[in-house]
Structure 1
């Protein structure tokens, strides 16, 4: 692959809103988001019934696209690398060619109209770049204004792609005339949604034992945000890979579905332009829970446009656009590069930390998934130096917890941030709010991993990758760590011995650190 930097923008021309994301890809940093913007112009306003795009909506759409192109070019994207894909409303409009020609004449942008199945495929590419798929199949669904795409996939295979014409703008226009929605109209919507879902994805989901869904789109994020704000006064900024259960949704649903527009408008976390659209959105979610037998929903902040841009980059670079990325590792590496990290040092600390985790496993007994979190905390432990050397451990925690790392749950990000926070200076204490709010089992994880990271960081104090390997001998009285080194390890032993006290307390044994020069 060429090391040359490549910038690509992808515009999703949806029924309710136009969105653009701009990313840069390079061999060194991977894929990094540069900018994103949206405008809810409602290009599909009234077109569901008339099958025609409104003149005013088309003019507003052209104006928005003109602004998007200016932004993209100012951000260094060549016009031929600005993609524009049109979905349900434009796809179905009798006068779509008129709008497409208008855009080409006035902006030079060539719009590609994609099928519902193509839309589902791109959504899959986007979602798997934000949420970790499992061995077991999940239901992925994306709620648009005109259509809803359903995908059943696991980490290695797509089992089904389908698109149904049950988007929230379409359903609002077709069924909802009362406010609050009447029992009759609510029942009609439930019946229509269920009828559209039976067969296809629902049947396959039951056959494959699907119990978890991954939802993308503004409607899904709005619902997740409001549910989270109902439980916490804050913490709803980062939604990716957050989740809510069927019980949490049903409690929220019963409360909101009975409200009129003025009451909904006062809900914290609800986008002003979704005050009416949220009604069919809630009924759709409720029906998905029931028809598919879903137990919980995970939120993805990536979908169609992210899938478009990832696929386009793969095509330009001559790669297989369907290949799976290690999104967690890539996201960590991107953050490190953004913060001008010292990569060799960070990778050496991570390597030593993993050796210690493995050697000390008989004592700490932590599960394999925490080994991965230790590696990422070690990789990012020093990124706070990007802000200031002084108290950089605190800055590292702040950056990690606010960087929108992809593929991680909020709890995993909390653990990574806390472990990085305690790689130096004072060890964990319940006087620290971000540590004390963890549940007890996760506080123990942070205790063990931060203790390991402190010693690993000490053994790389000279920033010279001196320590080649570490072995541990555990007996009733103590732990003996032996480091095999390239050179005399005076600085490494001095630093590690000064940082071992916390792990001694956590594991309940004194630690002796020795070295042998190769």
Structure 2
């Protein structure tokens, strides 16, 4: 089933189209954005102007054509309106015009409903843990604050401090003056006091930011550092130090100079100023050291909530806060690539047994154990492209498969381990490997060595190896196999692939059947 979700925001209208199917899960088909600024001038007047309404309706007509071309049934098109339309006195006039001209029925949601949908969307993109996270979504009219962990939500708030509202209300000079900055900071502090107090009492481990403003800030930071700012930023982060460098560089500039900056969306040239001041205050008031970026927010949350209500969709997505989005995302990518599930799961099981048995030798922590499991599950998905060089294709697919819940560095480690499950071992001549931090290259060395042997021990695809025990005799490393049948074929294949792990662990390896 294909579903389209349209978010009629203060700054821009967005639409995302997804397909939900068993095994493959939710796959994004298309997304589109039109920054029409429906809230232009309405913050103070509480009236949507006629020109903005016409632009909005034209954008919605284009969205509906695109949704139809992508095979979305009209009853599976969702449309929610937020702050600017929510507050407009002529809200009903606009909604009726939309319905008359497009047939689309738009639901106006409250600030708390908006925060709840944002929570669903963020939770589906960034892995939550036991500790509490502060989530915030910077819109044009409002900013939503959520405090939650993987067990559920402790705070939902919506505050009228969106960037378009703040620009219209407080900023009258270009560049912004010190007095205007001070007024904004005081206003932000007053509006965020309850969220700050809740964060202090509950205890917040980190912050997760969604919305175009947060992504734009992250892209500008990357551009300043000479890093490619294209592609997904999901689960990436920027530190307080990195942000403050950007803040100091941008705030003194006028709009002409800002417009020349790489990474800044042309239509956010003015909006970025209150956005930067707001994020600066969030860093300070919540005493944060870094902010994680989520590319999933309101629209994705709308879809997840809708699918929750709609059989035969899988109800766990919204109902179960304990949902492991990392494992689910890895498995979905495997299904999309037509993986051999039984083989991949057997290789993963052997890999994890080896990791545990070799722990005294490699010294890697449980975080790398988890990444090894995902690498093992996805090591063969490159056969979806071709058998030849499929290890390289696996690396490419993992890097570009939009795995949810993983930071860019984690995705790179998983992709590199899968890349080296066969053929040549890791080398500084390979850009993808050389780009990694030194500690991550060390981890890839160990994990790829383990995966190579585990893959060899499943050479016959018959799940013969039931367990593996590692015995370090000092002069050599013995891997003792418990098998269902004679393991000659498995040992023969593993012998051909063991040399890299021997090099990494400084031990010759011998296989024995128990």
Q: TM-score, normalised by structure 2?
A: 0.96
Candidates 34, 38, 45, aligned match of 1:39: 34
Matched residue, 2:365? 367
Over residues 377-406 of structure 1, what are the superposed CA-to-partner deviations in whole Å (9 max), with x where a residue is unaligned? 111111222223222211211221122211
Measured after TM superposition, the shift of residue 236 of structure 1 is: 4.7
Mapping 1:60-459, distance limit 5 Å = 60-198=55-193, 200-234=194-228, 236-317=230-311, 319=315, 321-324=318-321, 325-459=323-457
Over residues 247-302 of structure 1, what are the superposed CA-to-partner deviations in whole Å (9 max), with x where a residue is unaligned? 11111101100011111111111101000100110011111111221221110000
Over residues 458-494 of structure 1, what are the superposed CA-to-partner deviations in whole Å (9 max), with x where a residue is unaligned? 1111223222222222222222212233333332221
Does the CA-based 8 Å contact 2:229-2:263 persist in structure 1? no
Gaps of 5+ in 1: 1-5
Does the CA-based 8 Å contact 2:39-2:48 persist in structure 1? yes
Distance 2:129 2:324 in 1: 13
Distance 1:197 1:234 in 2: 34
SS in 1 for 2:204: coil
Tell me how large the CA RMSD over aligned residues is: 1.5
SS in 1 for 2:292: strand
Measured after TM superposition, the shift of residue 446 of structure 1 is: 0.5
Distance 1:485 1:212 in 2: 46
Distance 1:489 1:345 in 2: 16
Candidates 464, 470, 492, aligned match of 1:466: 464
SS in 2 for 1:22: strand
Candidates 15, 30, 53, aligned match of 2:10: 15
Does the CA-based 8 Å contact 1:18-1:41 persist in structure 2? yes
Distance 1:446 1:338 in 2: 25
Gaps of 5+ in 2: none
Distance 1:395 1:180 in 2: 48
SS in 1 for 2:174: coil
Distance 2:335 2:268 in 1: 37
Over residues 98-131 of structure 1, what are the superposed CA-to-partner deviations in whole Å (9 max), with x where a residue is unaligned? 1111112222211111000110011011111111
SS in 2 for 1:58: helix
Does the CA-based 8 Å contact 1:211-1:295 persist in structure 2? no
Distance 2:500 2:233 in 1: 33
SS in 2 for 1:97: helix
Aligned length: 510
Does the CA-based 8 Å contact 1:211-1:296 persist in structure 2? no
Matched residue, 2:507? 509
Distance 2:385 2:238 in 1: 35
Name whichever of 269-278 and 398-407 sits farther off: 398-407
Matched residue, 2:488? 490
